[in-house]
């Protein structure tokens, strides 16, 4: 079993505990869409729209922001220190128990 | 007025391939696109990215896919209205549709196929209360005529290339230019970043970093903006224009107001039959449509377009019989009369 648990708070403050496979090369944006959470993923995961922006609330060590992600977050709104683009966070065993919150739509 | 058989809204890969399938049925097409060139997202966002799921192409760059499609459809002589956004649709007395662009160009056709992808690219608007009330009253997201700002006080916000480039340009036009950016560093081209910092050092412009514009004030037009600085708090900055430059975002745009049934920001279509919308004569194909099990893939859009044009044929030519033909058997005949056909020698008897 390669599933991990990811906790996501939606824009109404409702928490969703999601079973997330780590063997399908999925990212957080795709996971949200697969569970019908209101994440547009407009650009398809190229870090070009910020519609999957989320805030990281747990202390998990995540991959560093890449150039494209930094560029996009520079132009996005509601950006905080703990902002990440869901499409750039690929599910891995180390992310088990990760707690995220969807940023407001812009 | 531009007249054609099928009007295609969107000149991305699926819109372009629609021309080919329509051409096989001897239907002429005209395409409208808000971008100044054909190709849609493939040309605008990721021309150098390889695509791996186009059948028979193990790998093809998005830009090359568009070039190939343009070559493929050339015999069917498509015509274009580029750099204009399809704004309104009306039904004419003769039963045809009339689509008018934001620049007033009128087009008429018996059938309309929307291949609008993610929509048209529109400026990303900052979430400032009441900002829409000031649009064209001092707030603008795109600089059309720089002379508008001559001897005016301008506040630009953003940290990308367009914010930097316009700051540099307007430094010699406006009486005052203030660039507001959320961070202390800029991610634009190094050359532009250096120029902006030199202009700031020489007092030609003013830089306010680690700050955001949070309010707009003025009686009927922009008179000042409030800049919230991370350390100094709110600073009121008198100005004539506020120009937020935060890049572009695709939006469904005016199509959303055409009376089409919309679900999840996409146009609902009948995928069991013909990819028609709730308005007879209007079809939607590619990323812009939705139906149960929809996959936003170029290859799915190609299929949808192929089916849709078979039904659009019946609308353009009511009652006229036709049966789909194989290009391997009949080749293709362009509107200039030239035919491309396979060599008989390679055909084996069954």
Q: Which two tokens stand for residue A69?
A: 């992600």
The set of residues, in sequence order, having a beta carbon less than 8 Å from that of A76 and lying 6+ positions away, is A50, A53, A83, A106, B246
| Interchain pair A42, B118: CB under 8 A | yes
B246: chain A residues, CB-CB within 8 Å:
75-77
Distance from CA of B306 to the nearest CA of A (A): 24
Domains and CATH numbers, chain B: 2-121+249-344 (3.50.50.60), 131-246 (3.50.50.60)
Q: Which residues of B touch A75 (CB under 8 A)?
A: 124, 158-160, 246-247
Q: Do B159 and A75 touch (CB under 8 A)?
A: yes
pLDDT at A80 over 90: yes
Q: What is the pLDDT of residues B91-123, one digit of tens each?
A: 999 999 999 999 999 999 999 999 999 888 788
Distances (CA, A) of B133 to A22, A82, B118: 47, 32, 26
Q: How far apart are the first and last CA of chain A?
A: 37
**Helical (H) or strand (E) element with A79:** none
Residues of A within 8 A of B127 (CB-CB) are 77-78, 104, 106
Q: Give dist(CA B45, CA B52) in Å, integer.
A: 17
The pLDDT assigned to B264 comes to 82
Q: How confident is the model at residue B344, as a pLDDT?
A: 67
Per the CB < 8 Å rule, is B187 touching A49? no
Task: Report pTM.
Answer: 0.83
Contacts of A106 in chain B (CB under 8 A): 124, 127
Provide the shortest C-alpha distance from residue B21 to chain A (in Å): 27
Tokens of A1: 């079993």
**CA triple B184-A56-B263, angle to 5 deg:** 100
For residues A73 and A48, the answer to whether their CB atoms sit within 8 Å is no
Interface of A with B (CB under 8 A): 40, 42-44, 46, 48-49, 70-71, 74-79, 104, 106
Q: Cα separation of A42 and B296, whole Å?
A: 11
ipTM above 0.85, yes or no: no
Strand partners, B284: B114
> Residue B18's closest CA among B306, B311, B331?
B306
Nearest CB partner across the interface for B187, out of A40, A70, A77: A70
Q: What is the mean pLDDT of residues A62-72?
A: 93
Of B126, B187, B250, the CB nearest to A77: B126
Residue B307: the pLDDT is 98
**What is the rounded average pLDDT of the residues A13-17?**
97
- Structure confidence at residue A106 (pLDDT): 77
How far, in Å, are A61, B30, B73, B273 from residue B332 at the CA level?
58, 19, 10, 26
Contact A77 B296 (CB under 8 A): no
Q: Residue B45 and residue A48: Cβ atoms within 8 Å?
A: yes
Number of Cβ atoms within 10 Å of the Cβ of B304: 26
The predicted pLDDT at position B189 comes to 86
Inter-chain touch B249–A104, beta carbons under 8 Å: no
At residue B53, the pLDDT reads 97
CB contact under 8 A, B246 and A48: no
pLDDT of residue B144: 84
CA distances from B300 to A91, B81, B274, B289, B296 (A): 27, 25, 14, 11, 7
Which residues in chain B come in under a pLDDT of 70?
344-349
User: How confident is the model at residue A48, as a pLDDT?
Assistant: 87
Structure confidence at residue A42 as a pLDDT band (50, 70, 90) = confident
Predicted pLDDT of residue B342: 72
**B73/B159 Cα distance (integer angstroms):** 41
- How many other C-beta atoms lie within 10 A of the C-beta of residue B182? 19
Q: How many CA atoms lie within 13 A of B245 on its CB side?
A: 22
Domains present along chain A, CATH in parentheses = 3-102 (3.10.20.30)
> Do residue B187 and residue A48 have CB atoms under 8 angstroms apart?
no
B320 burial (CB, 10 Å; 0-12 / 13-18 / 19+) is exposed
A91 close to A27: Cβ distance less than 8 angstroms: yes
CA nearest to B46, candidates B85, B83, B18, B12: B12
Return the residue in A41, A75, A81, A106 with the most chain B beta carbons within 10 A, the one to mutate for interface testing: A75
The 10 Å Cβ neighbour count of residue B32 is 26
pLDDT for residue B188? 82
Do the Cβ atoms of A75 and B247 come within 8 Å? yes
**Residue whose structure tokens are 């015509």:** B79
B168: which 2 tokens?
């540099």
State percent of chain A over pLDDT 90: 87
pLDDT score recorded for residue B250:
82
What pLDDT score does B285 carry?
98
Chain centroid to CA B274: how far?
A: 25
**In whole angstroms, what separates CA A88 from the centre of its chain?**
7
pLDDT at position B122: 82
Position A1 confidence tier, pLDDT thresholds 50, 70, 90: low
Q: Exposed, middle or buried by CB within 10 Å (0-12, 13-18, 19+), for B252?
A: buried
Q: What is the C-alpha to C-alpha distance for residues A72 and A103, in angstroms, rounded to an integer?
A: 14
* Residues of chain B found within 8 Å of residue A79, distances taken between Cβ atoms: 182
Residue pair B316/B145 in contact by the 8 Å Cβ criterion: no
């Amino acid at each position: 079993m390669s599933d991990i648990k990811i906790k996501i708070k939606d824009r109404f403050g409702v928490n969703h505990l999601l079973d997330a496979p780590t063997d399908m090369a999925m990212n957080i944006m795709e996971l949200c869409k697969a569970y019908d959470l209101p994440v547009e993923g407009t650009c398809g995961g190229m870090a070009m729209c910020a519609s999957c922006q989320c805030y990281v609330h747990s202390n998990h060590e995540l991959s560093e922001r890449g150039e494209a992600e930094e560029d996009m977050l520079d132009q996005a709104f509601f950006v905080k220190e703990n902002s990440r683009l869901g499409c750039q966070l690929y599910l891995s065993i180390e992310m088990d128990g990760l707690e995220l919150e969807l940023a407001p739509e812009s | 007025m531009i007249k054609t058989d099928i009007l295609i809204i969107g000149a991305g890969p699926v819109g372009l391939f629609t021309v080919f399938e329509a051409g096989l049925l001897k239907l002429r097409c005209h395409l409208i696109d808000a971008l100044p060139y054909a190709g849609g997202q493939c040309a605008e966002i990721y021309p150098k990215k390889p695509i791996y799921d186009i059948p028979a192409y193990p790998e093809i760059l998005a830009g090359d896919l568009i070039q190939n499609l343009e070559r493929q459809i050339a015999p069917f002589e498509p015509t274009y209205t580029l750099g204009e956004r399809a704004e309104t649709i009306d039904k004419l007395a003769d039963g045809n549709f009339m689509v008018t662009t934001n620049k007033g160009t009128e087009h008429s056709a018996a059938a309309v196929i929307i291949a609008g992808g993610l929509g048209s690219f529109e400026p990303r608007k900052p979430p400032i209360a009441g900002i829409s009330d000031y649009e064209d009253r001092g707030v603008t997201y795109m600089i059309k005529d720089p002379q508008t700002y001559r001897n005016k006080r301008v506040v630009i916000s953003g940290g990308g290339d367009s914010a930097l480039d316009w700051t540099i340009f307007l430094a010699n036009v406006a009486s005052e230019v203030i660039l507001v950016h959320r961070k202390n560093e800029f991610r634009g081209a190094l050359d532009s970043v250096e120029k902006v910092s030199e202009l700031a050092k020489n007092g030609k412009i003013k830089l306010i970093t680690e700050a955001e514009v949070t309010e707009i004030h003025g009686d009927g037009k922009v008179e000042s903006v409030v800049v919230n600085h991370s350390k100094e708090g709110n600073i009121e900055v008198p100005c004539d224009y506020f120009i937020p430059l935060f890049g572009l975002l695709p939006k469904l745009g005016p199509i959303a107001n055409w009376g089409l049934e919309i679900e999840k920001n996409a146009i609902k279509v009948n995928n069991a039959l013909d990819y028609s919308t709730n308005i007879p004569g209007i079809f939607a194909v590619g990323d812009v449509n939705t139906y149960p099990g929809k996959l936003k893939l170029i290859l799915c859009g190609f299929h949808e377009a192929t089916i849709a044009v078979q039904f659009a044929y019946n609308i353009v030519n009511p009652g006229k019989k036709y049966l789909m033909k194989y290009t391997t058997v009949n080749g293709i005949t362009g509107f200039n009369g030239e035919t491309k056909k396979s060599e008989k020698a390679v055909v084996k008897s069954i």
